[in-house]
Amino acid sequence: MNIPLLILSFLVAFLLSVVTLPESLMLWRPEWVALVLFYWVLQAPDKVGLGTAWCVGLLLDVLEGTLFGLNALSLAVVAYLLLTMHQRIKMFPILQQSFTVFMVIGINLMLGHWIKSLIGYRPADMSFLFPAVSSALIWPILYLIMNRLDRY
Amino acid sequence: MLVIALLSLALLLVDYRFSYLDPARRTLSSLMTPIYHAVDIPYVVSRWAGNTFVSHARLREENETLRARMLVLEAQVQKMVSLGAEVSRLRDLLNASAVVDESVVVSEIISVNPDPYVHEVTINKGYDAGTYVGQPVLGASGLVGQVVDVSRFTSRVLLISDSSHAVPVQVNRNGMRAIAFGVGTHGELELVNVAETADIEVGDLLVSSGLGGRFPVGYPVGTVTSLEQEPGQPFLRIRVQPAAELDRIRHVLLVFKREPLPTSSVEAERGREGSKQPPAAEF
């Protein structure tokens, strides 16, 4: 496992998840941090797991100004789901992996949405799931890039 | 997993109900400041390029217009000074409490909350610059929002258009009070619980009433754009266009309340002398 790349990739993911976008694109912003976590859990399931996911989630909470523990919880759930089935996911063809990304990030978003509605954010329509779609679409590209970088 | 889930839920509850975690959040938030600045780099570079590679003629032209504008504003300020003095003298006569004097600090928006359902921006002044939670924030043309979270070098500002935000306002024309709620889109606010018989018209200017004790009195909040009367509903449906361009502004003003001027007239004179210094402004 490539520790500098791990740190760098999470930093870049943090950057991308707060970078200012036009309002129409905001709804479609992929869940970069969850995607990068996805990659690393698949690569090194024995080292990157719940603990890493939780800490990264806390940092994301601070960055996005959400309630402490919201992203921490939903990213830990992502890591948990991946850890239970990482051996199968690794064998999947890339399209099926994308579908898994869609499901897992969908669950992640759903959890966040539930917590937000509990504390009284105005419940929106299903548009909060758009990032799951864009994340699934971007997964093959991200996977190729990360894999290439990882080999150096 | 169970332990982590319970820990997260505990954190969520504690953060939602109490403020024990604020110091931790503050520290972490200060550590994350470089990320906000890194995100802002493209804008800074483009602005630098725009400022550097500009023709002499255009600069001169801009200088001219700015000079003219400054002259006009200065003339208005002169009038304001005498009017302000008159107001506090009259309030003295009425034995009313003195008007709170305000000073402002210019600050820049460096990032926007990534959640499209939350209208929140991050500005580049934190508690090092004296920012505090609940501080009102103005734009060049009207009220922008209030500070909801401060870290060392940055703070987060909730915009008046956020669906969890409300401003106490009054109609400038007749002083009628109302409350303007954000609805979650940038160009719109809503006045709630205004009776059908209320004296309000399309085009009315709404200014902050200062009644909540949070926002200063008399800053423009928006203008009424439409009135709808639905049969069977006891209240009007009133839409308001915010005065500040909430999705376009780059610079905002942080308002600092000064101590109220003393009430006795001699003291008041002295107080006024003291407050004649130019307001604190940083660029």
| DSSP sequence for B262-276 | PSSHHHHHHHHHHTT
For chains A and B, CB pairs below 8 A equal 95
Residue B152 pLDDT: 87
Residue B13 pLDDT > 70: yes
DSSP line for B50-73: HHHS--HHHHHHHHHHHHHHHHHH
Residue B186 pLDDT: 83
Residue A32 pLDDT: 93
- The count of structural domains within chain B is 1
Residue B98 pLDDT: 60
- B99 confidence band (pLDDT: 50, 70, 90): low
| Average pLDDT, integer, range A130-144 | 93
Q: Map out the domains of chain A as residue ranges.
A: 3-13+29-151
Residue B148 pLDDT > 70: yes
| Average pLDDT, integer, range B101-122 | 85
Q: How far apart are CA B9 and CA A107, in angstroms?
A: 17
| Average pLDDT, integer, range A8-16 | 92
Interface check for A15 against chain B (CB to CB < 8 A): the answer is yes
Q: Considering chain A, what is the average pLDDT of its residues?
A: 89
Higher pLDDT, B282 or B249: B249
In a 3-state reduction of DSSP, which class is residue B221? strand
Q: Using only the alpha carbons of chain B, give its radius of gyration.
A: 22
Q: Which residue of B has its CA nearest to A83?
A: B1
Q: Lowest mean pLDDT of A39-53, A138-152, B21-35, B165-179, name the range.
A: B21-35
Token pair 């009038």 in the structure block, residue: B79
Where in the sequence is the domain holding B126, given as residue range(s)? 102-257
Q: Lowest mean pLDDT of A36-40, B50-54, B117-121, name the range.
A: B50-54
Token pair 């009367």 in the structure block, residue: B229
Q: Using only the alpha carbons of chain A, give its radius of gyration.
A: 15
Residue B262 pLDDT > 60: no
- B34 confidence band (pLDDT: 50, 70, 90): confident
In a 3-state reduction of DSSP, which class is residue B238? strand
Closest CA to B272 of A45, B263, B280: B263
Residue B218: give its domain's CATH number.
2.40.10.340
Is B197 a domain residue? yes
Residue B275 token pair: 């407050």
Q: For residue A122, which residues of chain B lie inside 8 Å, CB to CB?
A: 117, 163-164, 184
Residue A1 pLDDT: 67
Token pair 């007239």 in the structure block, residue: B265
In angstroms, the Cα distances linking B53 to A63, A102, B58, B59, B60 are 34, 46, 11, 10, 14
Is B171 a domain residue? yes
Q: At what angle are helices A32-43 and A3-18 packed, to 10 degrees?
A: 160
Q: Which residue of A has its CA nearest to B39?
A: A19
In angstroms, the Cα distances linking B72 to A98, B61, B62, B105 are 61, 17, 16, 22
Residue B258 pLDDT: 61
Q: How far apart are CA B91 and CA A99, in angstroms?
A: 70
Percent of chain A scoring above 90 in pLDDT:
53
Q: CB–CB of B107/B114 below 8 Å?
A: no
Q: How far apart are CA B162 and CA A31, in angstroms?
A: 23
Residue B282 pLDDT > 60: no
Interface check for A33 against chain B (CB to CB < 8 A): the answer is no
Residue B164 pLDDT: 87
| Average pLDDT, integer, range B24-30 | 84
Q: How far apart are CA A128 and CA B151, in angstroms?
A: 28
Q: Which helix (H) or strand (E) holds A78?
A: helix A70-91
Interface test with A, best of B30, B117, B164, B165 (most A CBs within 10 A): B117
Q: Which residue of A has its CA nearest to B11?
A: A69
Higher pLDDT, A6 or B100: A6
Interface test with A, best of B8, B9, B27 (most A CBs within 10 A): B8
The answer to whether A67 contacts B12, with C-beta atoms less than 8 Å apart, is yes
Q: Lowest mean pLDDT of B77-91, B110-124, B266-280, name the range.
A: B266-280
The secondary structure of residue B205, as a DSSP letter, is E
Residue B55 pLDDT: 81
Interface test with B, best of A7, A17, A20, A121 (most B CBs within 10 A): A20
Residue B85 pLDDT: 85
Residue B115 pLDDT > 70: yes
Q: Which residue of B has its CA nearest to A11?
A: B35
Residue B277 pLDDT: 42
Percent of chain B scoring above 70 in pLDDT:
88
Is B264 a domain residue? no
Q: Lowest mean pLDDT of A56-65, B10-19, B169-178, name the range.
A: B10-19
Q: CB–CB of B255/B102 below 8 Å?
A: yes
DSSP line for A83-139: HHHHHHHHHS-HHHHHHHHHHHHHHHHHHHHHHHHHTTPPP--GGGGHHHHHHHHHH
- B105 confidence band (pLDDT: 50, 70, 90): confident
| Average pLDDT, integer, range B31-47 | 84
Residue B100 pLDDT: 60
Is B13 a domain residue? no
| Average pLDDT, integer, range A70-83 | 92
The answer to whether A69 contacts B1, with C-beta atoms less than 8 Å apart, is no
| Average pLDDT, integer, range B90-111 | 77
Residue B32 pLDDT > 80: yes
Residue A136 pLDDT: 94
Residue B67 pLDDT: 94
The secondary structure of residue B244, as a DSSP letter, is S
In a 3-state reduction of DSSP, which class is residue B4? helix
- The phi and psi torsions of A32 (rounded to 5 degrees) equal -60, -45
| Average pLDDT, integer, range B138-157 | 90
In a 3-state reduction of DSSP, which class is residue B86? helix
Q: How far apart are CA A82 and CA A90, in angstroms?
A: 10
Q: For residue A63, which residues of chain B lie inside 8 Å, CB to CB?
A: 32, 35
Q: Considering chain B, what is the average pLDDT of its residues?
A: 83
- B18 confidence band (pLDDT: 50, 70, 90): confident
The answer to whether B38 contacts A64, with C-beta atoms less than 8 Å apart, is no
Closest CA to B186 of A23, A125, A127, A130: A23
